[in-house]
Amino acid sequence: MVSSLIEGSYKDPSGFLFKKDNEIYRQINLSYKNDYEQFMGSGLYKKLIELNYLIQHEEINIEPYDKNDFYKTIKPNLIEFISYPYEWCFSQLKDAALLTLNLLKISLEYEMILKDATAFNVQFIDGKPIFIDTLSFEKYKEGMQWQAYRQFCEHFLCPLALISLKDYRLAELSKSFIDGIPLDLTSKLLPSSSNFNQLFLHVHMHAKSINLLSNTNEKPKNNFFPKKSLLGLIDSLESTIKNLKWKYSETTWSDYYNNTNYSDNAFINKKEIVEKFLNVTHPKTLFDLGANTGDFTRLAASRGIKTISLDMDYACVERNYLTIKKNNEKNILPLIINLSNPSPALGFNNNEREAFFKRKNADVMMALALIHHLAIGNNLPLSKIVKFFSKYCKNLIIEFIPKSDSQIQRMLSFREDIFSNYNESNFRGEFEQYFKIKDVVKLNDCERSMYLMEVK
Amino acid sequence: MQQLKKLKFFFLIFIINFIFPNRASAYIDPGSGSYLFQMLIATALGLGYSIKLYWTKIVSVIKNLFGSKKD
């Protein structure tokens, strides 16, 4: 089987990721040998594994991917779903930032330091952030600065400050600036009140120095940076991050279940039907599209099914993540994904970061109370929606909402009804082109129907 | 006042930059501005950290004293 390089992992000369026989490996280059030996020998690796801060790996003997600079190959534990920082809610990004600073502090106790601080080095497993780049640790010598200070600020501090103090929609900037939101832009966008806390130092003054000194290409000879100053820098960043809060107001969807026209009976009935369909399909993986705060995702996750709980609403995903944290729930990854504009392929040659739906397919996709938003809210033809679902799953649990439903009536109250094809008969007809309908159940107390379908 | 602050800032950068030249190397580019900025704030960060540590120790000693009295 041919090995292939994993794009986006080639920037660090210490090593890279590659894929062989559907397994992921990391090659460590000779240039990283001394650092790796200290990392493993000092007890730092063991400590981080004990704390569940770092992805575990095993050293392995296979054909090197690149023999020229080869030192070792390691096989990290597989991560079920890869997500990117621009798909995380505020608290996910904040927890990832605090994990990075924690790793840095612990590393210094073992005479090592983090040489980079990109948010892409963090993933989420069972509601907890975990660091995935084993080659980010290098030997620390007394007097060293933290080279990744700016990167940390631009990857973590800038988006967190903008969401917390300006507008949560500015989180979208992380998608355009995949190397971090520039400090000078953040400084311009933040309100003047941010001059009276530690953001003055780490964002405003930091940005000013970069602008004033951008043409300097030499550093001072006497560049000794005491360890106490380094610890002070970490401590200051940590308290700055901890002080940033995002108090979400109820957005359109975050209070949906409290304001919806479902009766309690219909809601319980809907849960029973979902459970019945899950019993039939036995999925290992499930994507809940338009999951809101994840009530239905939990039905699957509690059965050990690995799930992604997607929603475009920032407050819904925040609430979902905070519930997972509070209850220590496993198997749910909440992500901000707008189905009418999901995360695209980004970076050099459009290869560094994969488009969301290219990363993994699901055994089951669940689309509850969603179809009308796509078909009527976004003017998407049913035929296009059907094709989309058939591409990325094996089974589909989907709820049909008729036009007479009060939710659709509300959507159409101020616009012309141009959706003459939107009815259950056409819905079935379009889906039957790509799916076999396995079961249909009418929901109690309302006109909605639940469908279980299998891709043909 | 603003002008004076700017002048002081420039003066510090000038001293660091032109008296001790040396080339930087790392796989990610911290940017010269960011690098020099860390040097500029080093003393303040170190001092702030030390004060915080001592303060925490003082508070903990007082708490212990108070606690032991209670016992």
Per-residue pLDDT reduced to its tens digit, A114-138: 999 999 999 999 999 999 999 999 9
C-alpha closest to that of A306 among A68, A124, A51: A124
Question: Which sign does the torsion angle of CA A174, A178, A183, A188 carry?
Answer: negative
Mapping DSSP to helix (H, G, I), strand (E, B) and coil, where does residue A184 land? helix
**Residues A305, A319 contacting (CB under 8 angstroms):** no
B7 reaches A (C-beta below 8 A): no
Q: Are the C-beta atoms of A333 and A309 separated by less than 8 Å?
A: yes
pLDDT at B25 (0 to 100): 46
Q: Residues 6 or more apart from A93 whose CB is under 8 A from it? A: A85, A119, A156, A159, A160, A163, A171
8 Å CB contact of B49 and A217: no
Asked if B49's CB is within 8 angstroms of A235's CB, the reply is yes
Among A113, A155, A195, A223, the strongest candidate for a mutation testing the B interface, having the largest count of B CBs within 10 A, is: A223
Closest A-chain CA to B43: A229
Of residues A116, A124, A117, A114, the one with CA closest to residue A79: A124
Pair A315, A342: CB distance under 8 Å: no
pLDDT tens, A370-379?
999 999 999 9
Q: How far apart are CA A160 and CA A180, in angstroms?
A: 12
Q: Tell me, what's the pLDDT at A407?
A: 86
**Each residue of B21-48: pLDDT tens digit?**
334 446 667 678 888 899 889 889 999 9
User: Which parts of A54-177 are beta strand (E)?
Assistant: 57-60, 70-76, 112-114, 122-125, 128-131, 137-139
Confidence of residue B19 (pLDDT cuts 50, 70, 90): very low
Q: Taking residues A239-256, report their average pLDDT.
A: 78
- Asked if A231's CB is within 8 angstroms of B49's CB, the reply is yes
Run of H or E residues at A24: strand A23-29
Q: What is the pLDDT of residue B3?
A: 55
Please list every residue in chain A whose beta carbon sits closer than 8 Å to the beta carbon of residue B19. Answer: 220-221
CA distance B60 to chain A (A): 19
Which 3 state secondary structure label does DSSP give A307? strand
Is B33–A235 a contact, with Cβ atoms under 8 angstroms apart? no
CB-closest option in B13, B42, B44 to A213: B13
Beta pairing, strands A449-455 & A112-114: unpaired
pTM summary value: 0.90
DSSP assignment of A308-348 equals EEEES-HHHHHHHHHHHHHHT--SEEEEE--TTS----BSG
User: Which percentage of chain B shows pLDDT scores above 90?
Assistant: 11
CA dist A74 and B10 (Å) reads 48
A225 interfacial to chain B (CB closer than 8 Å): yes
Q: Which of A366, A394, A365, A397 is nearest to A455 (CA)?
A: A394
Task: Please list every residue in chain A whose beta carbon sits closer than 8 Å to the beta carbon of residue B27.
Answer: 11-14, 115-116
Residue by residue, DSSP assigns A186-244 as HHHHS-GGGGGSTHIIIIIIHHHHHHHTTT---EES---B-HHHHHHHHHHHHHHHHH-
Of residues A410 and A396, the one with the higher pLDDT is: A396
- pLDDT tens by residue, A152-195: 999 999 999 999 999 999 999 999 999 999 999 999 999 999 99
Residues of chain A neighbouring B41 (CB-CB closer than 8 A): 201, 205, 229, 233
DSSP B43: H
DSSP readout, A231-263? Answer: HHHHHHHHHHHHH----PPP-TTTTHHHHSS--
Instruction: Write down the mean pLDDT value for chain A.
Output: 93
A116 touching B, CB under 8 A? Answer: yes
Residue A186 CB neighbour total at 10 angstroms: 28
Q: Which residue of A has its CA nearest to B5?
A: A205
Distance CA A336, CA A393 (A): 19
- Looking at beta carbons, which pairs linking A257-262 to residues 24 or more positions away fall under 8 Å? A257/A292, A257/A293, A257/A295, A260/A407, A261/A405, A261/A406, A261/A407, A261/A446, A262/A445, A262/A446
The ipTM (two decimal places) reads 0.77
* Confidence grade of residue A98 (pLDDT, cut at 50, 70, 90): very high
- Vertex A95, ends A122 and A312: CA angle to 5°? 80
Of B24, B28, B47, the CB nearest to A148: B28
* Token pair of A204 as six digits: 């405003």
Residue among B16, B31, B48 whose CB faces A210 most closely:
B31
Which of the two residues, A85 and A247, has the higher pLDDT score?
Answer: A85
Q: Is the pLDDT of residue B9 over 60?
A: no
Q: Rounded to an integer, what distance in angstroms lies between the CA atom of residue A65 and that of residue A80?
A: 23
What pLDDT shows up at residue A432? 97
Q: Could you give the percent of chain A with pLDDT greater than 90?
A: 82
The rounded radius of gyration (Å) of the Cα atoms in chain B is: 21
Query: For residue A411, what are the contacts with CB-CB under 8 A and spacing of at least 6?
Result: A372, A376, A377
Distance, CA of B46 to CA of A37 (rounded, Å): 30
Look at B17 and A213 and tell me if their CB atoms are within 8 Å: yes
Q: For helices B2-19 and B32-70, what crossing angle results, to 10°?
A: 110
The band of B15, judged by pLDDT with boundaries at 50, 70 and 90, is very low
DSSP helix/strand/coil, A74: strand
pLDDT tens digits, residue range A255-303?
A: 665 555 567 888 899 999 999 999 999 999 999 999 999 999 999 999 9
What pLDDT is stored for residue B13 in this prediction? 47
Mean pLDDT for A423-442 is 95
Phi, psi of A117 (to 5 degrees): -145, 50
Cβ pair B26:A147 closer than 8 A: yes
B30 close to A (CB below 8 A): yes
Q: Is the Cβ of B32 closer than 8 Å to some Cβ of chain A?
A: yes
Tell me the average pLDDT across A331-359. Answer: 95
**Residue A416 scores a pLDDT above 70:** yes
Q: List chain B residues with CB under 8 Å of A212.
A: 9-10, 13, 33
